[in-house]
Every structure is written in C-alpha cells, then in structure tokens.
Amino acid sequence: MSAISATEKVDGFTRKSMRKAQKQRKSQGSSQFRTQSSLVELSPLPHLKDTPSTEQQVLFVQKLQQCCVLFDFLDSVTDLKSKEVKRATLNELVDYVSTNRGVLVDSAYPDIIHMISTNLFRTLPPSENPDFDPEEDEPSLEAAWPHIQLVYEFLLRFLENPDFQPSTAKRYIDQKFVLQLLDLFDSEDPRERDFLKTILHRIYGKFLGLRAFIRKQINNIFLRFIYETEHFNGVAELLEILGSIINGFALPLKAEHKQFLMKVLIPMHTTRGLALFHAQLAYCVVQFLEKDSTLTEPVVRGLLKFWPKTCSQKEVMFLGEIEEILDIIEPTQFKKIQEPLFKQISKCVASPHFQVAERSLYFWNNEYILSLIEENIDKILPLMFGSLYRISKEHWNQTIVALVYNVLKTLMEMNGKLFDELTASYKADRQREKKKEQEREDLWEKLEALKLQDVSNSRGLQIAQNNNNNNNSLTNAEEPNTSAAITDSVNSQTFNCAK
C-alpha cells in the first residue's frame, strides 16, 4: 500500500530494517477524519446509583450520549480529563447493564446501539507494515483500546442481560450492523478480535433471522481472502465460530453447507498463512465428517488435489489433518480413498525433508490406522513398498531409516507372502519404470520431429493432414482401435471424476 520509494528499489533490505524501526511504535489510531480543534470538554454526570430509580433512565441515556464523543488516543496529552470522564462513565455503564434488572427498556435500544456503533464502527487504518507477518511481527495495537475495550464489554453485557429482547433489538442489530462488525475482524489487535468472536457468537445464537446472512458474509470474506487478497487478520476467529456453528447443523446437511465445505474450507488450505488457522480449519473439516461420513471421499480428494508441492511446513499440517480424519473414518469410506491417499503417503515417507517423512511414518503408531491398513494390506502394501524399500537404503536421516525399518517390519508381519513377492520383483519393477520413461521421451522426440517437419512443409500442412485423416478413416483396421482407446479413456476419466 505504501509508496514504493527509491531505496526500496535499490535496497531490498531497507524494508526489513524499517520494519524493525516500526516495531517501536505499536499502537495505531483508527482511520477517521478528526477535527483538529479540541472538542467540548466532558463534565462528569451524577452517578447512576445515587439517582432515584425514576430518573435513572433519563440519566442512562444522557450517559450513553456522552460516550458518543470520540478522542484521539495517538495524541496522549490532549483531552486527558475528558478521556477519563468517558472511561469512568463507560465503566459505570458496563456495571449498570450487568448487575441491574429491568434497565433495558425498549426506548433505550436506539441510544445503546448508536453509542456502540459510533465507537466501534470505524475504518481500520492501513497496516503499519505492508508485509505484516502475524507469526513474526508484533501486531499494531488499537490506540483507543482503553475506551473501545469498555464499549465491547458493554455490548457483550447488553447481549447477555437476561432482559435483552432480540425481538426489539433486531430493528437495530440488523444486517448492516453485522456487516460492520465482520469488517472489524480484520483488526490487527488480537484483543479486539477476541471480543468480536464472543460477540458474533452471541448474536448468531440470539438472532435466528441473521444466521443465514452471517454465514453468507463469512463465506464472502473467506472467498475474498482465498482468491483475491490473501490477507485477513480474523480468519482463525471466524473459523472458531464456524466450528461451533457446524456442530449445530441439522442432518441431513443442506447443500449450502456442503458447498461451503468443498468450495471454501478445502480451497482455504492453499492460502499462504495456513499455519495461523490450520488447527481451527481442521477442526471445522472434521466436524463436517463427523456429521456426515459420506463427505469423506470428496474431502480427502480435495486435500490431495491441493497437497503442498514445495512447502514442507504445510505438508506436515496436511498430514496432521489427514490423521485427524483417519481417526474418525469409517472403514467403508477408507476403502474408497485408500488408493489415492496411500499414493500420496508413499511420496511423503520418501520426502527428503525429515519432518515430513517422520510425520507420515508416525501414522504407523496409530492403532486405528494400523487396523485399517491391516484390513486392506493387499491394496496398501504394493503402494507403499517401493518408497519404503528405497528410503530404507538411502535416506540421509538415521531416525527416518530406523522408523522405516519398523514400518517395513510391521507390514511384513501383516502379509509376509506379498512382502516377499514385492521384494523379489522390486528390481524388475524399477527397470520397467525406467523403460517406460525412456519410451515416453522417445515419443515426444518423435512428435517434435513431426512438428518440425510439418512446419517446414508449411503450405503442405493442411493437405498432408487431410490426407492423414482420409487415411485414418479408410484404414479401418487401425481407426476403430484408436478411437476406442480414446473413448475408453474418456469414460474412465468420467468415472474418476464421479465422486
């Protein structure tokens, strides 16, 4: 976002050093137009508890209105007195709605919501650090937190008050209110996001009419995060809320929810900051599978499709998630995915990155997974054998070699006969693979030659091809074969696609 300046072009390191310099200033104000001149000074109103109950309502509203005045907290010297008055008043208001019964009369709702909206709903400022890395960098904290925290606290108490009437509140806590609340989840301040999480959860619980809307908006935020910006600070919090929402889904699952799983949650595994919310994401996925085990196959295939190619850290996370899924998988579902899954696992155990290899070999310590493997050993052993056998001879890391030996031993005990056969044919198999590889290369070479020839014929190209086509349709000896091969392949592809 910030201007690309001359030294950033000449000096790739400047940013890092600037980042360090910036760490010193951690707090941020909100992005608002502020009036330069100091506002009217606030003067303290009488205490609510010292006021006769008949006048309390009027005073309550006055106090709410007083709290609508905003202050600049980046400037730590101005308006000190007024800031203190507002802080005390907010404290009193929190106290008032959390301890007293009968204070939430209908007429107070608009003032309450107005006070909350005025304080909370603001445009978040640009990030101090354009390449903010939540794992490494310190987040910028909200400068006005002394007030904002109390407003959040107040909102929460208001929602939790036994007298709180969703039917009255829904006129004010509407779609627009929720939308603005959701925007705030992008705040860099983890304290703020934590409050928002609890509050949104309460709203989702109390306002049935807003539920579909909230889910749809979260959906939109996620899609934007995955496919457009790759940046949103509150993903983990939103996923945490979703985790408990999914838990409450009725069976059978609606198409909308399945779509959310397949088109949002699974692609979310591809994002850069996965480490920050993987635990919550995996929890959501597992929740879905616990609800409806028939989703196992599409989910596992989806994960395999997005399997990390270069990032070992992510690969370890994927393996962790697969283990969580295998922990709850039904044996019939397992059979459906064992082949593609163990092809991938066989690649993982052979990974030169020892953490990836180690994580996948740990599957063999899991009793339930072992029992699934044993049940299907005839299918799984041939998939795993090649990698394990090779790795047992050539992995650089001794721990991995030791683990592989244990795994090979376990597999041998499951089906010794098959194991011996595979050992015997190992060499021949490798040679066959090599030969196939050679054939492929030859084929492409031939094709390239054909292409060159065609290009050099340039004008003759069309005619030659027409000839070819005519030939093909005339020499029926070969033609049906080839087209059969193609139709076959199309069919088998369609079978593969069918979930």
Partner 1 sequence: MAGAEGDDSLYPIAVLIDELRNEDVQLRLNSIKKLSTIALALGVERTRTELLPFLTDTIYDEDEVLLALAEQLGSFTVLVGGPEYVHCLLPPLESLATVEETVVRDKAVESLRKISQEHSPVDLEVHFEPLVKRLACGDWFTSRTSACGLFSVCYPRVSSTVKAEIRQHFRTLCSDDTPMVRRAAASKLGEFAKVLELDYVKSDIIPLFTALASDEQDSVRLLAVEACVSIATLLPQEDLEALVMPTLRQAAEDKSWRVRYMVADKFSELQKAVGPEITKNDLVPAFQNLLKDCEAEVRAAAANKVKEFCENLPEDSRETIIMTHVLPCVKELVSDTNQHVKSALASVIMGLSTILGKDNTVEHLLPLFLAQLKDECPEVRLNIISNLDCVNEVIGIRQLSQSLLPAIVELAEDAKWRVRLAIIEYMPLLAGQLGVEFFDEKLNSLCMAWLVDHVYAIREAATCNLMKLVEKFGAEWAQNTIVPKVLSMSNDPNYLHRMTTLFCINALSEVCGQEITTKHMLPVVLKMASDQVANVRFNVAKCLQKIGPVLDSSALQAEVKPVLEILATDQDMDVKYFAQEAISVLTLA
Report the residue count for the chain.
499
Q: How far is the CB of 22 from partner 1 (least distance, A)?
A: 10
Instruction: Specify whether the CB–CB gap between 348 and 388 falls below 8 A.
Output: no
Figure out which of the listed residues 99, 123, 332, 371 binds partner 1, where binding follows CB under 8 A.
123
Q: Which is nearer to partner 1, 123 or 431 (CB)?
A: 123
The span from the CA of 168 to the CA of 162, in Å, is: 14
Cβ proximity to partner 1: between 5 and 371 the closer is 5
Number of residues that bind partner 1 (CB under 8 A): 64
Q: Which residues pair with 28 in a beta bridge?
A: 142
466 binds partner 1 (CB under 8 A): yes
Does 76 bind partner 1 (CB under 8 A)? Our answer is no
The beta-strand segments (E) located in 260-417 are: none
Q: Residue 143: which of 122, 168, 164, 114 has the closest Cα?
A: 122
Q: In whole angstroms, how close is the CB of 2 to partner 1 at the nearest point?
A: 5
Distance CA 264, CA 476 (A): 49
- Which of positions 289-318 make contact with partner 1 (CB under 8 A)? 305
- Decide if residue 383 touches partner 1 (CB under 8 A): no
Selected binder of partner 1 within 50, 228, 367, 394 (CB under 8 A): 228
Under the binding rule (CB under 8 A), the answer on residue 267 touching partner 1 is yes
Apex CA 26: angle with CA 20 and CA 30, to 5°? 135
In the bound complex, what is the minimum distance in angstroms from residue 194's beta carbon to partner 1? 24
* C-beta closer to partner 1: residue 89 or 296: 296
Interhelix angle 416-457/398-414, nearest 10 degrees? 110
Tokens for 279, please give them. Answer: 């635990």
Helix (H) or strand (E) run with residue 142 in it: strand 141-142
Q: Which of these, 127, 147, 123, lies nearest to 73 by C-alpha position?
A: 147
| 11 forms part of the interface with partner 1 (CB under 8 A) | yes
Residue 468 contacts partner 1 per CB under 8 A: yes
How are beta strands 141-142 and 27-28 bridged, if at all?
parallel
CA distance 352 to 391: 9
> Which DSSP symbol is given to 228?
I
User: From the CB of 471, what's the least distance to partner 1, in Å?
Assistant: 4
Q: How far is CA 337 from the centre of its chain?
A: 23
Nearest to 279 by CA among 327, 235, 310: 235
Please name every residue paired with 31 in a beta bridge, in sequence order, or none if there are none. 123
What is the three-class DSSP state of 126? coil
Question: How far apart, in Å, do the first and last CA atoms of the chain sit?
Answer: 43
Stretch binding partner 1 (CB under 8 A), from 279-287, 348-356, 363-371, 462-470: 462-470
Determine which residue in the list 125, 146, 205, 320 makes contact with partner 1, applying CB under 8 A.
125
Query: In whole angstroms, what is the distance from residue 85 CA to residue 88 CA?
Result: 5
Tell me whether residue 41 or residue 454 sits nearer to partner 1 (CB atom): 454
Q: Does 10 bind partner 1 (CB under 8 A)?
A: yes
497 is a site residue for partner 1 (CB under 8 A): yes
Q: Applying CB under 8 A, does 227 fall inside the site for partner 1?
A: yes
- Phi/psi of residue 489, nearest 5 degrees: -65, -40
Confirm or reject binding of residue 80 to partner 1 (CB under 8 A): no
User: Of these, 106, 133, 327, 454, which contacts partner 1 (CB under 8 A)?
Assistant: 454
Phi-psi region of 237 (alpha: psi -120 to 50; beta: other; left: phi over 0): alpha
Closer of 318 and 364 to partner 1 (Cβ): 318
**Helix residue spans in 100-144 (DSSP H):** 109-120
Q: How far is the CB of 77 from partner 1 (least distance, A)?
A: 16
Q: How far is the CB of 74 from partner 1 (least distance, A)?
A: 10
Q: Which residue type is seen at 153?
A: E
Q: Which of 2, 65, 406, 431 binds partner 1 (CB under 8 A)?
A: 2
Q: Can you tell me the distance from the alpha carbon of 375 to that of 490, in angstroms, rounded to the nearest whole number?
A: 32
Query: Per rule CB under 8 A, is residue 379 in the interface with partner 1?
Result: no
Interface stretch with partner 1, choices 44-52, 108-116, 281-289, 487-495 (CB under 8 A)? 487-495
Closer by beta carbon to partner 1, 230 or else 330: 230
Binding mask 28-57 for partner 1 (x = CB under 8 A): ---xxxx-----------------------
Q: Which is nearer to partner 1, 23 or 305 (CB)?
A: 305
Residue among 91, 165, 220, 425 that touches partner 1 (CB under 8 A):
220
Binding segment (CB under 8 A) for partner 1, from list 106-114, 152-160, 165-173, 473-481: 473-481
CA separation for the pair 231, 188 (Å, rounded): 11
What is the residue-wise DSSP string for 34-98? --SS--PPP-PPPPGGGS-HHHHHHHHHHHHHHTT----SSSSSTTHHHHHHHHHHHHHHHHHHH
> Does the protein bind partner 1 through residue 105 (CB under 8 A)?
no
Q: Does 446 bind partner 1 (CB under 8 A)?
A: yes
Shortest distance, CB of residue 299 to partner 1, whole angstroms? 15
Least Å from the CB of residue 337 to partner 1? 15
Binding site for partner 1 (CB under 8 A): 1-3, 5-8, 10-14, 17-18, 31-34, 123, 125-126, 176, 179, 220, 223-224, 227-228, 263, 267, 305, 343, 440, 443-444, 446-448, 450-451, 454, 464-469, 471-472, 475, 478-479, 481-483, 485-486, 489-490, 492-494, 496-497
